[in-house]
Amino acid sequence: MAKGFFTLFAKNIKKSMGPGQYQANGILVICVHCQHDRFESSQAQLNTALATFLNFDFANRSAITLTCHRCGHIHWFNKKVNRID
């Protein structure tokens, strides 16, 4: 109960941070479409039903998506990205 409440609270803090600047492999991420540098980050599961069925757990990975705050273009990253602002 208390833990659930804390998780909800933490999520709200993260949400209130809003769009930010990110680095991937030490390079500032710039939107390929509009050259904006503010993104909203979220995680996306890459796993497929087939991969799960075949027990290919290595295929069940999560990716990071950075959605451009201006034009909405979604950038996919298969590695960790760092928020710098």
Contact residues toward Zn ion (CB under 5 A) are 31, 33-34, 36, 68, 70-71, 73
Q: Which C-beta is closer to Zn ion: that of 19 or that of 36?
A: 36
Nearest approach, Cβ of 32 to Zn ion (angstroms)? Answer: 8
DSSP class per residue in the chain: -HHHHHHHHHHHHHHHH-SB-EEETTEE---TTT----EEEEEEE---HHHHHTT-GGG--EEEEEEETTT--EEEESS--EE--
Residue 55 one-letter amino acid: N
Smallest separation, CB 20 to Zn ion (Å)? 14
Among residues 64 and 68, whose Cβ is nearest to Zn ion?
A: 68
Q: How far is the CB of 28 from Zn ion (least distance, A)?
A: 14
Of 19 and 51, nearer to Zn ion (C-beta) is 19
